[in-house]
Structure 1
Amino acid sequence: MPGVSLAARPVLVVTHLDDVTADLVVAQLHDRAVPVVRLDPADCPDEMGMDAYLDGSGLTGTVTTSSRELRLDQVRAVYWRRPSPWRAAAGLEGESAEWALEQTRWGLGGVLASLPGALYVNHPWRIRDAEAKVAQLATAGACGFNVPATVITTDPAVAAKFIARHGPIVYKPLWNTPWTGPDGRARTVWVRHVEPGELDDTIGTCPHLLQAAVDKVADLRITAVGRQLIAVRIDGAAGLDWRENYDQLRYTQIDTPPQIAAAISAYLERFGLTYAAFDLGLDRHGAVWWYEANANGQWAFYDDPINDQIAQALAAVLEKGTISR
């Protein structure tokens, strides 16, 4: 901003208190002597206040925590990680609480998503757009990825025909909706194989995503930070989804195939993303197949030097406050 040097402008880190992944990036920024303000929007209004002003000259004002004051027009970059769910002010209940929560979401949330001149990694609205599985599949195909044959249907007969033509197939949830089992414990609905005999009228209760299974020999995870790609081959996964058991996995850094690098660049451009983690499958013929891309994907499960490379890449982009495509 005019009158304020880039070196004095902070990077804003938006996340919850115990975010280990964000900690690694914050440490890199501190090593670079880049000022950092970290906050969780869910702390507003009980532990955080805001005053935002808008007129013909743009957005100004402050967000104030118990220890810091953030000038809204001086943020160089925003690292939008995983803030806590929005919550209402203490003491509010029922419709009053819901009203206040939504005002905070669209008030403070709107302000933090509109910081003038700041680079977002990634912008929260772009993260939201890129989370939709159907949009991912359509965009991936348009960008040059190999996309397995997929159907999204509420018709058991259509599902049966799809299996007959493309089997074996897998089921994938369209959204990771919270699910609590009979024992009261939170459950995860993983990708899993579907046998023809499992198809029944329950398919009609909601859309189901069925996809031709990739005859994989390994998984690939390619982390994109701007133009930098950090590609890792993952071996040792016992099931369809390697995230079910991290203890079994082996990580090997590889070069990104040029055609995959080009597809990733096009995909980031389509969704307006600076960062994304791409999950792909490698089949026995050497072909690379699309699984999904996470615009806010985790990466701190790696060991060094992979972790360090990703943290350094993110810190470098945030420090610069801009990115060239």
Structure 2
Amino acid sequence: MKAWQVLAHGEPEKALSLSEIPAPEPGPGQLLVRVRAVALNFPDVMLCRGEYQIRPELPFTPGVELCGEVTAVGDGVDQARVGTRVIGNPALPAGALAEYALMNAAEAFGAPDSLDDAQAAAFHIAYQTAWFALHRRAGLKPGETVLVHAAAGGVGSAAVQVAKAAGATVIGVVGGAQKAQAARELGADLVVDRTAEDFIGVVKQATGGRGVDVVFDPVGGAAYAGSTKCIAFEGRIVVVGFAGGTIPAPPLNHALVKNYSILGLHWGLYKVRDPASVAAAHEELVRLADQGVIKPLISDRIGLDGVVEALTTLGAGGTTGRVAVLLP
């Protein structure tokens, strides 16, 4: 089968090679899936660089999110799953950027019928992250105001939709006019282009000086620092990631004086510590998708040969929404 392989750590254009390798075989509790679509994620770039929390032995196939069709199952897995369309995270090192991939059966979920392959591939990580950040960690209530950083990005675009579905008012922060338009189309009530205006002042003006109840921050750095200046009394800042490249070192006396909470989210831990909650979130998200309330923003659909260029653009923060790799 064809597969992208990381032969040596580095930027995608140096690390990746399109190779012909044997198809993997499912072990106990696993599924072999024919990959139909892959949603590219920032962790794919980090895997190439060797900077992700998981470091598979070289060589390996990256790609952490897919939609595929089950073609075979390992011991202990119901044969009825063969032929079904599933989404989720592949079992590295047999990642998604290949014609076939392995998945742990317990972590493979039914693909929503309302979404095509590209949309379904992008439905798992970002929407689960947004759901757990806003509902499980922040306890979002209808009528509250949510500030979403990188609101036109992969996980930020999901957070905008999940927050709107919960009855919140959403202020989205983006970088550039094109991304601002995308955030508006996603449903953000107010969009701030950080390249043209200061989001702190806009937020304070829009909330009458009160600030926002919840901050969804996958960026870190200046985004986090600015959020602490426009968070409301008893507000919650959910730290999701550091795509901006700078990990904040917050002065905790500020959180004490202003009476706000700083919450971390490592969604992957729920798969280990509370898998039932992941399955329950999936059911609720599918319900919202089938109602047409949420739908992944797919900005580009590319073939397997376009992966290196797309990951390079993604790593530089140049993508809007999600880039999906479609396989025949």
In the superposition, the TM-score normalised over structure 1's length comes to: 0.28
Question: Which is greater in Rg?
Answer: 1
In the superposition, the TM-score normalised over structure 2's length comes to: 0.28
